[in-house]
Amino acid sequence: DTEVTQTPKHLVMGMTNKKSLKCEQHMGHRAMYWYKQKAKKPPELMFVYSYEKLSINESVPSRFSPECPNSSLLNLHLHALQPEDSALYLCASSQGPPVPSSGGNNEQFFGPGTRLTVL
């Protein structure tokens, strides 16, 4: 199974709503990531979880709250978002450092994303 799944595919929410994005992988990967992508721009890293611990928070506003319940699941809790937060939110996973001794390059595998619209 080389798939990363994300739910929901689309989400429309008001600025006062609370919602959650979910991500799941069953590849035994130890690193999981949240990215935000605006149109015609590359993905921007938001958070990295490595071995279920938050390793990177790229100065993301507190209205975004990540959670890693276990090594296969990653959530992103949303509260009091702004219209400019509308974007494609991508989850990814990788084996995590160090680089595998068997070779390979710690490639990241992406989920299909959640297209979020904040009204």
Partner 1 sequence: RKEVEQDPGPFNVPEGATVAFNCTYSNSASQSFFWYRQDCRKEPKLLMSVYSSGNEDGRFTAQLNRASQYISLLIRDSKLSDSATYLCVVNLEGVETSYDKVIFGPGTSLSVIP
Binding site for partner 1 (CB under 8 A): 31, 33, 41-45, 48, 50, 55-56, 88, 90, 94, 96-99, 104-113, 115
Angle at 99 (CA atoms; ends 96, 100), nearest 5 degrees: 95
Nearer to partner 1, 16 or 59 (CB): 59
Nearer to partner 1, 82 or 106 (CB): 106
CB of 29 to partner 1, least distance (A): 11
Long-range contacts of 43-52 (CB under 8 A, 24+ apart): 43/90, 46/76, 47/76, 49/74, 50/96, 50/97, 51/96
Tell me how far apart the alpha carbons of residues 41 and 44 are, in angstroms, rounded to a whole number.
Answer: 8
CB of 17 to partner 1, least distance (A): 24
CB of 16 to partner 1, least distance (A): 28
Q: Which residue has the tokens 């299909």?
A: 112
> What φ, ψ does residue 94 adopt, rounded to 5°?
-150, 170
CB of 34 to partner 1, least distance (A): 12
Nearer to partner 1, 83 or 98 (CB): 98
